[in-house]
Chain A
């Protein structure tokens, strides 16, 4: 069992969607892992496959999705892809839980949050009063003042930041081994975003749970994560320890992404850097490197075959011929 080091091991995962136009190859040969008690950040732009990846881990894919042969998603020693429906019910919300993007749509507007929180504990045969106490404790822990009284309030009575705190509390109710956070702060103001990130850092110490943090905000990833995975058009293009990745980025895509971030550009300028071109069509893939059509450093091998993952250091690899050839 590999469960001692890695909570989650995704091996050679390929996912496609059947469409009228043909097969959309949304994920191709993705290898990632989440070590115990670490926060792994996935960064990438819209359409890079972030959501498909986490939906595969929770087996929440649309019916037209095809998981290609040879794919494995090992969670604590069990292959999620081979689980039966009842095993999946056991997995979701209990062993893996999730915090979604928009806290308003994630909560049921007509049920009090106390009921929504105690409902999660349906598997446990303990008295309601005790469940409510658990819920109130949990709310207090995520920084909701006067938690006992607020259990009977409905989602609309809370502000946006408070709602996201509630979602985090709900996700942690069952003490999961893995928490997946899918852009948990995009719906919030910067000040609340900072507070939520601060909260997640605190909770991580307390609950000892591993986290998969998905975001397109590089600042947040740098702030929170231990390891970073950069995805582009359905592939992992670079992965590594957070300092390595931000200070010694190797893949041209990662470098350009870092350059683009308005938060990184200190001086006022009229023309901001961009990545020219657009994301390739995932039905008809280019023969060589997936990023080559937009890459300023493209040279001969890039057009011929897709690059492998080449190690930059022990904990850092990039899928780029520049690394292999030391250019």
Chain B
């Protein structure tokens, strides 16, 4: 489609584990793990796509695959009409003029030995752009992100988190990219500064027509900036749709769990609601059937055996669950024991299933 800046189809990123953990390989025939498993999405020009999941869900790997920092093995990434999967490292250089990345830690992602001016003009040098007046460009970029010119000579250790983040944004904007991949743009920032950074990103999007891919585990943040959303678990999308739709009618129990995990700033709303038990399983030992069944409070017998299909539950809203929630009222109807869940053992047709809290060793 011509109006999409990026279209990803069935993308798969595998990492070799051989030689890393010898003992494990002896037991596993396939010395690979799938960090990203057959993921598809598209992003229109000027739109924002949010990628949400816990650490280890593959969201950062997906972002890095798009910009070519890790190699995708299968599938396709079409950026601006050009196929990216299979490109050589050298060929990626041109692509990176149009895709910029903002890395996770705002201070650590800046070189401690370069001052702000050197950091934000480095992209011009890397791409051999003969810019006549680097100082002029640096001033323009600082202006764009709302930083005082006095910061030009400052080093990263002299900056606050929010200021360092702004420098990161300026650096990403240097080459006038069409797509910015922002990995946890607000992590580690104070609440009032989070708002400032998100407002800045929104303003730049309006002014410059940027598209964003925002990678985060913070649901309240994506709610305000993204048009579309995907929830990742163990390298797969488990739910995808418009942000509004997902917040109003989450279909997958994992999404519901993530939403419930965000504490509300109101002491009257202390939760005894759904709380996801346990942690994300190892990619080396994917659970059978539905991969979320080890932590799902609503697990049924079928979930252990059959992997659910990734299906459309409403127009434009996809989820992979045997028993998706058509509306939130359904979720509330679930028995209370299932919600609090400590050592909760659901009984299904006389079978006992051990849910959550299983020992995981990596």
A contact residues vs B (CB 8 Å cutoff): 45-47, 143, 145-146, 157, 159-162, 186, 189-195, 197-198, 216-223, 242-243, 246-247, 256-258, 260-265, 268-275
Cβ-based interface call for B24 (8 A): no
Residues of B within 8 A of A268 (CB): 223-224, 243-244
Whether B264 lies near A264 (C-beta < 8 A) is yes
Residues of B within 8 A of A243 (CB): 267-268
Q: Could you say which residues of chain A place their CB within 8 Å of the CB of B263? A: 193-194, 197, 217, 219-220, 222-223, 263
Q: A190-B217, A223-B270 are in contact. Are A264 and B243 (CB under 8 A)?
A: no
B188 lies within 8 A of A186 (CB)? yes
Partner of B266, one of A145, A192, A222, A270: A222
Q: Determine the chain B residues whose CB is within 8 A of the CB of A216 once the complex forms.
A: 190-191
Q: Using Cβ atoms and an 8 Å threshold, which residues of chain A touch B262?
A: 190, 219, 263
Residues of chain B within 8 A of A45, CB atoms compared: 190-193
Cβ distance A143 to chain B, nearest Cβ, rounded Å: 8
Interface size class of B (residues with CB under 8 A): 35 or more
Q: Are B190 and A189 closer than 8 Å at their CB atoms?
A: no
Contacts of A218 in B (CB 8 A): 191, 265
The verdict on A194 contacting B360 (CB below 8 Å), with A216-B191, A262-B195 known, is: no
- Which residues of the partner chain B approach A145 to less than 8 Å between Cβ atoms? 357-359
Residue B221 CB within 8 A of the other chain: yes
Q: How far is the CA of A284 from the CA of B196 in the complex (A)?
A: 26
Interface-lining segment among B119-127, B207-215, B274-282, B298-306: B274-282
**Pairwise interchain contact B271-A190, C-beta atoms closer than 8 A:** no
CA distance A243 to B266 in the complex (A): 8
How many angstroms from the CA of A108 to the CA of B193 in the assembled complex?
33
What are 26 residue pairs bridging A and B, where the CB atoms are less than 8 Å apart in the complex? A45-B192, A143-B357, A145-B357, A159-B279, A190-B218, A191-B275, A194-B260, A194-B275, A195-B276, A198-B275, A216-B191, A217-B263, A220-B263, A222-B264, A222-B267, A222-B269, A223-B267, A223-B270, A243-B267, A243-B268, A246-B265, A261-B220, A261-B265, A265-B224, A273-B195, A274-B195
Q: Name B295's closest neighbour in chain A (CB-CB).
A: A191
Judge if B55 is at the interface, Cβ distance under 8 Å: yes
Q: Kindly list chain A residues whose C-beta atoms are within 8 Å of the C-beta of B42.
A: none
Asked if residues B202 and A274 are in contact (CB atoms below 8 Å), the reply is no
> What is the CB-to-nearest-CB distance from A78 to chain B, in angstroms, rounded to a whole number?
33
Chain B residues positioned under 8 Å from A217 (CB to CB): 191, 263
Collect the chain B residues with CB atoms within 8 Å of residue A273's CB: 195
B198 at the interface (CB under 8 A from A): yes
Counting CB contacts under 8 A, is B219 at the interface? yes
B277 to chain A, nearest CB (A): 7
